[in-house]
Amino acid sequence: MKSRASAPAKAILFGEHAVVYGKPAIAAAIDRRVTVTLGDSSENRVTIPSLGVDFRSESNPQGGILDYVSKALQLYHDGSPLSIQIEMEIPVGSGLGSSAALTVALIGALDGYHGRESEPGDTAARAHRVELEVQGAASPLDTTVSTYGGLVYLDSQRNVEKFDARLHDLVIAHMDHSGDTAEMVAGVAELRSRFPAVVDGIMDTVEMITLRAYRALLSNNPEPLGDLMNINQGLLDAMGVSTLELSMMVYEARRAGAAGSKITGAGGGGSIIAYCPGCAEDVAEALNRDWNAMKARFSEEGLIR
């Protein structure tokens, strides 16, 4: 018996960190995927060629990204040994949601393996549970985007809206090392415990930025997005999640012509996103001198089984 499923990476356009405090966020699925192929086996075997992982054991796999595999198996599999092949087009720990994409794809493949039907809302909720149990804290944003694909608006009541908008000319660049999402989230919480009114004010302003960007996207007028990204970046810096290298990437993108650029994801390392109307090639080329940059194409498709 074989089963295969894949799910896309994501980039947060607006609202990271504020989303932890119940604020809205906008994220997009991008055309880099994680594909999971399951088959019968006499032992548990997990291979991830892009990471050089070839894990065989009678027990569940453990450590790093394998913790997500282990937790999903524990919750949604009957314990029989499986061969699990994982192809990843997403750099791990880059803030592009590799763990969520892996978890969603694995749950989709497990459902196929067991002949289960599942609604996207249910898949996203189960994947979010895996992320929560492995990480201790996580917003539902990553798993939602990897499940549904496209552009996703998460409102303050945690309703998910997939919406259409014309948005091109985005560039994403990542550095070699990632930030630790839990550490970054804890750092913001610590700052907030010392300066509650100040940090709450920052989160309120991020909310206004996200709402304004959402309106701009819905009306197919992306012109304000650059400035809104730059303001959002200033506030992410104020939250303490930017670094010298992230700031260098953000400013290099603007120097090369980007209308706006900001951290995408938790910060501390990882990735930036830049809005580059008419200059995506130039910005990608400039960022590629010192980092890894790509023109980001949206993936309309979320989980594919």
Residues that bind ligand PMV (CB under 6 A): 16-17, 19-20, 95, 97, 138-139, 141-142, 181, 184-185, 265-266, 270
- Residue 74: which of 39, 121, 107 has the closest Cα? 107
Of the residues 31, 40, 142, 204, which is catalytic?
142
Q: How many CB atoms lie within 10 A of CB 216?
A: 17
Give CA–CA dist 201/193, Å, rounded.
Answer: 13
Alpha-carbon dihedral of residues 226, 228, 234, 238, nearest 10 degrees?
-150
Is 278:164 a contact under the CB 8 Å cutoff?
no
Residue placing its CB nearer to ligand PMV in the complex, 209 or 256: 209
Q: Report the nearest approach of ligand PMV to the CB of residue 129 (Å).
A: 14
Q: Which is nearer to ligand PMV, 5 or 20 (CB)?
A: 20
Minimum distance between the CB of residue 273 and ligand PMV, rounded to whole angstroms?
Answer: 11
> Please, which residue, 185 or 246, has the CB nearer to ligand PMV?
185
How far is the C-alpha of 213 from the C-alpha of 227, rounded, in Å?
10
CA distance 236 to 270: 14
Nearer to ligand PMV, 3 or 243 (CB): 243
For the CB of residue 87, give the shortest distance to ligand PMV in the complex, in Å: 20
To ligand PMV, the closest distance from the beta carbon of 80 in angstroms equals 31
Nearest to ligand PMV of 27, 258 (CB atom): 27
* 1 close to 39: Cβ distance less than 8 angstroms: yes
Beta carbon of residue 256, minimum distance to ligand PMV (angstroms, whole number)? 24
Task: For residue 142, indicate whether it is catalytic.
Answer: yes
HSE-up of residue 43 (Cα within 13 Å, Cβ side): 10
- The amino acid present at 302, given as its one-letter code, is G
Selection from 141, 206, 170, 183 nearest residue 269 by Cα = 183
Tell me the catalytic residues.
Answer: 142
